[in-house]
Amino acid sequence: MVPATAAGSARPEPSSARPAAPRAATPTATPPRTARPDAAGIYARLEHDLTACYELGRTSTPEMLDGRLTLDASIDATGVPTCVIPSDDRGLTQDVEDCMSARFAKERFGDGAPWSASVPIVVRAGTVTLGERKPASLTIESVETVRMPDAFDVLESLEPALHACVRGADQDGLKSMLVAARIGADGRAQCALASSPGVLSPSVRECATGVLRAAKFPPPKRGSGLVLVPILVLGAK
């Protein structure tokens, strides 16, 4: 007989079941960062608008059938191009180069560490295509400027600092690089970049661009100017 409680009801037997263990939380997977596109991938994004830039330029310069340029860009950690500078240019008008540079600057990429890109563009017989980036065989003395004829003395004074930035970098596989900046009316760099068709470490990039950002140039003749310093890394083979 089951003993009764004070109220006359049956006393429940103690349960032998254990409380269920809390379910372990499923860790949230970190979404992979978007892979950086190569030159061909970037060109595929820009191709339609780059062609439009060229065709617009031909309306005022119909004889512009052949040319080339390389769009060099510095992209920050949020995927925003913060500096786009054309180099290795020939045969295209300034308006076309500016239009293509502005289009690249509007592109957006995935988050990640800051990086740089170089996209060679070739125009042959009126057709815009992706070109091939030729390894630079230039020395640091072979600098270029746009609307800045008085900048060469300053650039010459920066050579030791730029050499210091790339000293020993050939051991990391770096053979050549381009350091460039857009210069404002006050003679200061509005933006600067360092790009390479090969490996370019963050320390070399930050050092080289820092040299141009810290420099004070004679003001451009009009608007903004460009300085471009192609560097063949000492010891590269």
List where CATH 3.30.2420 sits in the chain.
39-130, 144-232
Query: Rounded CA gap, 135 and 88, in Å?
Result: 11
Burial class (CB in 10 A: 0-12, 13-18, 19+), 132: exposed
Q: Give the pLDDT of residue 134.
A: 56
Do residues 54 and 195 lie in contact, with contact meaning Cβ atoms separated by under 8 Å?
Answer: no
Query: Rounded CA gap, 162 and 19, in Å?
Result: 69
Q: Provide CATH code, domain 39-130.
A: 3.30.2420
Q: What fold is seen in the domain 144-232?
A: TolA/TonB C-terminal domain (3.30.2420)
Q: Give the pLDDT of residue 140.
A: 67
* pTM (global) more than 0.85: no
Query: Rounded CA gap, 21 and 38, in Å?
Result: 50
Q: Residue 88 CA to chain centroid, in angstroms?
A: 17
Q: Give the pLDDT of residue 179.
A: 95
* H/E stretch holding 158: helix 152-166
Q: Give the pLDDT of residue 219.
A: 95
Query: Rounded CA gap, 118 and 125, in Å?
Result: 23
Q: Give the pLDDT of residue 5.
A: 44
Query: Rounded CA gap, 200 and 176, in Å?
Result: 9
Those residues of the chain that have pLDDT short of 50 are 1-10, 12, 14-17, 19, 21-22, 24-32, 135-138, 236-237
Could you read off the pLDDT of 27-78 as tens digits, one per residue?
A: 444 434 567 899 999 999 999 999 999 999 999 999 999 999 999 999 999 9
Q: Give the pLDDT of residue 142.
A: 76
